[in-house]
């Protein structure tokens, strides 16, 4: 199953990539020692870790939402043909993402809203596609919702020196600026109500403008948390950041706050990159959290 109904919203999982991201878990999560990964590999492999605990396995995927008659994409992956000199695993991809989206019943012109939870390399890639030598919006009729704090932070004109460093090289220029120049962006701050079902809120830490999308109406609740979580290990140990969290203290506080909200409201938690069943139900466990169950999405079986 790659589609579920949550209240009045349909959620479909659209895959771009699944497999190793060529980064050792103890590098990806500097607070988690190698022994923990070795011990945890029986339940983490193969969906979240390879069997030898040598690399994190991740999904690059888009959550396609249908709400109030509109098609909404949450994050747009890495994209095809992008030059990523410092992120070789994401450089010059040629995936069938748009075919997968089409199989889900949505063509690029059918997309009404694109949400970039933040502006990292693996969340904005399909914002644009190559047309001759130019990057143009992939979804010509969509409004692209981007957090203004991230737009300003990643804009090279503002001269910031992010922790991610050159890993985001070219990303603003080929995946953000062309959409902005085409007049298709809506830069929002603080909180942004999308419709009766869905709301965007600032959730800073992983990046200054990181945000979460909450389904807060109807019988089923959900929260799309972007990169607040990369591994289920961070549910059990919510203080563990990834090495890409720009503000570690804020990332920890935001992760704890949102996991607490999800536990208290029985909300499904949808991280951007979880393999396996893709989303989790969580519950409080003293001052940490536990996994109560998984969403019914079918795990990816083969890699790539
Ligand atoms: Zn990411």
Q: What is the DSSP letter of 298?
A: P
- pLDDT higher than threshold 80 for residue 66: yes
In angstroms, what is the span from residue 127 Cα to ligand 1's centroid?
Answer: 15
In angstroms, what is the span from residue 105 Cα to ligand 1's centroid?
Answer: 25
In angstroms, what is the span from residue 258 Cα to ligand 1's centroid?
Answer: 17
- pLDDT tens-digit series, residues 109-144: 999 999 999 999 999 999 999 999 999 999 999 999
In angstroms, what is the span from residue 273 Cα to ligand 1's centroid?
Answer: 7
Q: Is this prediction's pTM over 0.85?
A: yes
In angstroms, what is the span from residue 32 Cα to ligand 1's centroid?
Answer: 19
In angstroms, what is the span from residue 261 Cα to ligand 1's centroid?
Answer: 22
Q: ∠ at Cα 48 (46, 52), nearest 5°?
A: 55
CB-based burial label for 208 (10 Å; 0-12, 13-18, 19+): buried
Q: Which structure tokens are listed for 125?
A: 């890639």
In angstroms, what is the span from residue 183 Cα to ligand 1's centroid?
Answer: 25
Q: What percent of the chain has pLDDT over 90?
A: 88
In angstroms, what is the span from residue 230 Cα to ligand 1's centroid?
Answer: 8
Higher pLDDT, 167 or 93: 93
d(CA 206, CA 243) in angstroms, rounded, equals: 9
Across the range 215-230, mean pLDDT stands at: 95
- pLDDT higher than threshold 80 for residue 167: no
In angstroms, what is the span from residue 145 Cα to ligand 1's centroid?
Answer: 17
Q: Which structure tokens are listed for 110?
A: 């059918």
In angstroms, what is the span from residue 284 Cα to ligand 1's centroid?
Answer: 25
Across the range 56-80, mean pLDDT stands at: 97
- Residue 301: band (very low, low, confident or very high) from pLDDT cuts 50, 70, 90: confident
Residue 277 CB coordination number (10 Å): 16
Q: What is the pLDDT of residue 168?
A: 84
pLDDT averaged over every residue in the chain: 95
Which secondary-structure segment (H or E) carries 270? strand 268-271
In angstroms, what is the span from residue 279 Cα to ligand 1's centroid?
Answer: 15
- Residue 86: band (very low, low, confident or very high) from pLDDT cuts 50, 70, 90: confident
In angstroms, what is the span from residue 227 Cα to ligand 1's centroid?
Answer: 5
């Amino acid at each position: 199953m790659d589609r579920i109904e949550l209240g009045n919203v349909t959620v479909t999982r659209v895959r771009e990539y699944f497999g190793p991201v060529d980064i050792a878990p103890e590098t990806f999560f500097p607070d988690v020692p190698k022994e923990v990964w070795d011990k945890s590999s029986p339940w983490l492999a193969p969906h979240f870790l390879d069997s030898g605990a040598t690399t994190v396995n991740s999904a690059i995927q888009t959550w396609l939402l249908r709400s109030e008659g509109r098609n909404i994409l949450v994050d747009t992956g890495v994209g095809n043909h992008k030059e990523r000199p410092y992120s070789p695993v994401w450089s010059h991809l040629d995936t069938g993402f748009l075919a997968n989206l089409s199989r889900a019943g949505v063509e690029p012109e059918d997309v009404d809203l694109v949400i970039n939870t933040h502006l990292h390399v693996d969340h904005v890639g399909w914002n644009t596609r190559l047309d001759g030598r130019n990057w143009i919006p992939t979804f010509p009729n969509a409004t692209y919702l981007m957090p203004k704090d991230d737009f300003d932070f990643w804009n090279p004109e503002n001269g910031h020196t992010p922790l991610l460093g050159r890993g985001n090289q070219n990303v603003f220029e080929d995946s953000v600026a062309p959409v902005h120049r085409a007049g298709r962006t809506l830069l929002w701050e603080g909180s942004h109500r999308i419709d009766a079902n869905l709301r965007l809120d600032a959730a800073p830490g992983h990046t200054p403008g990181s945000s979460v999308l909450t389904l807060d109406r109807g019988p089923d609740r959900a929260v799309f948390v972007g990169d607040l979580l990369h591994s289920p290990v961070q549910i059990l140990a919510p203080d563990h950041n990834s090495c890409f969290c720009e503000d570690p203290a804020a990332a920890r506080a935001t992760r704890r706050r949102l996991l607490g909200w999800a536990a208290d409201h029985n909300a499904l938690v949808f991280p951007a990159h979880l393999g396996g069943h893709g989303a989790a139900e969580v519950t409080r466990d003293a001052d940490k959290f536990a996994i109560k169950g998984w969403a019914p999405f079918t795990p990816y079986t083969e890699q790539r």
